[in-house]
Amino acid sequence: MEQIPVSTVRSLLLIICRYLVIIIVVLIGLIGQFLYWLVFDSFGRYEKRAKLKLKCINSQKDSEYYAIIIGAGFSGLGTAIKLNKLGIDNYILIERHGYVGGTWYANKYPGCACDVPSNLYSFSFEPNSKWSHYFSRQPEIAEYLEYCTDKYDIRRHIQFNTNVTQLKWIDERKLWQVTIQSNSLEKQFYAQIIFAATGLFSNAAYPNDIPGIDKFQGQICHTAEWNQSIDFNNKHVAVIGTGASSIQVVPEIQRMNVPQLFVFQRTPPWIISRVDRRISNFEKRLLTYFPIIQKLIRTSIYCSLGALILSYAYRWPIRYVNQELVINNLNREIKDIELRKKVTPTWELGCKRVLISSDWYSTLQKSNVKLITDRIKEIKSHSIITQNGDEYPVDITICSTGFQTQKFALPIYGIHGYSLAEQWSETKQAYRGITVPNFPNLFILLGPNSRISHSSVIIMLEAQLKYIVEILLYINKNNIRSFSIKQNVHDAYNQWIQSKLKKTVWHLGGCQSWHQNAKGIVTTIWPDFTWIYYLLMKNFDYQNYILEK
């Protein structure tokens, strides 16, 4: 009888170990979800809370609102839905584009899709039984957000094609002055409360450190500002960057009859296979008629992805299993030793966001694709030159170089004219990722250290929205005009966050990423299970705030 190779047996044992951990975590998660419902939401308590309304807040003066929301992506729309449910009608939502969707409207590059399973990448209160794929594509997510906008009657509150150019707190009036610009005209609104839902991925980052990029005479665009008029047929194309958008757009461009596609890589990402498939009509009908099934699927996905925290944050030995499985996949897909060296990261799995693709490695091995790891020295009118002197003729350059994640989207001035940019000049910090000292009545949705790299950020958003609702109910009941987090509470919280982060892969993993600022401080990631954050945000801790009537 033929003997099974030791490597195969080892791989099987690793897979069994990984899935055993996932199954245990999912079972614990399901039990935890039931206990949470039993303790907090059973016997009509959830329905009772959902019916709570604010009182006496819909009277409106000229250009003065109870609340202004900036941005119409997931965060802005989710906030508007919560305001509607609280009975608030006196608010506006300002959106710089002509449509809702935020990053899911702006990013229209070929192959754009979510790397979180569809059932988890949606509002928990608005499940979608009509996703066409396990991982949803950009047009479907944009359509879902349009649907939510209309279902919850938000569109009439939205002012499209409008930019917010400044936020300024007026001390004597305890109001925010919001300066907007639309059709080259400037105007000012006032609001008691501001929701900054501008998002981390709102402003594209071009590689401005490359000499000559402004002299390139071919076509150039960023994946986040896609030019749909570009014709790739029979053109030499360069893609700069190998991040999340690059691994989606490169395989699509490769199929567009391009004689040569140059992929310029500064650092390789860890890649795991995207196990994707189409959702059948039968499954869609099943989820429509039996929503409890979709809820169980959502919870199971949530718990299984949560198991990664054992590796990333708690650094259990399971991290070695996970990394070896990913390496085995890489070795299986890429046979060429030199190419394999180029695409193998030198840092620990999870330090940067792990990317999901089933055609990245195969695309790099196509005859019309060349992976270039030598740094770019200069861009000329129709070519790119690397540090070793090689020159590559290019007709089209695609910048897949990420976003300005360490720079806030707009100027904000708080108490006594304090600038948020100056306050955050050393490092971005917020209390529980949402409020900042010296900036009363300001909520920053998905702010510092409230994002995650292993699961759906919608989980974190909904935790924040729950906290916001508790605050609004409290200040309304007690006639509070302004609230701001105490400096010492804010500082103690962020010291705790950073002490936890120093033990995680995002600090110890040996990489530089957009999670970090220039000093290497992790400013974006929440360093624990999302359910811990959810419990932390369950009630308004009013004693930690400065409250003024």
Greater pLDDT, 52 or 324: 324
Domains of the chain: 29-203+411-486+525-548 (3.50.50.60)
- pLDDT at residue 22, rounded to an integer: 87
Dihedral over alpha carbons 309, 314, 315, 319 (to 10 degrees): -30
pLDDT at 353 over 80: yes
Percent helix, strand and coil across the chain, each to the nearest 5: 35, 20, 45
Greater pLDDT, 500 or 9: 500
- pLDDT at residue 6, rounded to an integer: 52
How high is the mean pLDDT of the chain? 92
SS3 190: strand
The beta strands (E) that lie in 302-402 are given as 355-356, 369-372, 376-379, 383-386, 391-393, 396-399
> Could you give the percent of the chain with pLDDT greater than 70?
98
Q: With bands split at pLDDT 50, 70 and 90, how would you rate the model's confidence at 1?
A: very low
CA distances from 524 to 206, 313, 461 (A): 20, 14, 14
| Span 437-456, average pLDDT | 95
pLDDT at 212 over 50: yes
Instruction: Summarize pLDDT for 50-109 with one digit per residue, the tens.
Output: 778 888 677 667 789 999 999 999 999 999 999 999 999 999 999 999 999 999 999 999
| Among 41-45, 274-278, 296-300, 434-438, the least confident range | 41-45
- pLDDT at residue 285, rounded to an integer: 95
Helix (H) or strand (E) holding 50: helix 45-50
Q: Are 381 and 216 in contact (CB under 8 A)?
A: yes
- pLDDT at residue 34, rounded to an integer: 86
- pLDDT at residue 208, rounded to an integer: 81
pLDDT at 269 over 50: yes
pLDDT at 238 over 50: yes
Alpha carbon distance 298, 289 (integer Å): 16
pLDDT at 4 over 70: no
pLDDT at 300 over 80: yes
pTM: 0.94
| Span 108-127, average pLDDT | 95
Q: What is the 3-state secondary structure (H, E, C) of 397-460?
A: EEECCCECCCCCCCCEECHHHCEHHHHCCCCCCCECCCECCCCCCEEECCCCCCECCCCCHHHH
Residue 541 neighbours by CB under 8 Å, 6+ apart:
none
| Span 525-535, average pLDDT | 95
Greater pLDDT, 146 or 35: 146
- pLDDT at residue 5, rounded to an integer: 53
pLDDT at 216 over 80: yes
Helix (H) or strand (E) holding 237: strand 236-240
Instruction: Summarize pLDDT for 136-161 with one digit per residue, the tens.
Output: 999 999 999 999 999 999 999 999 99
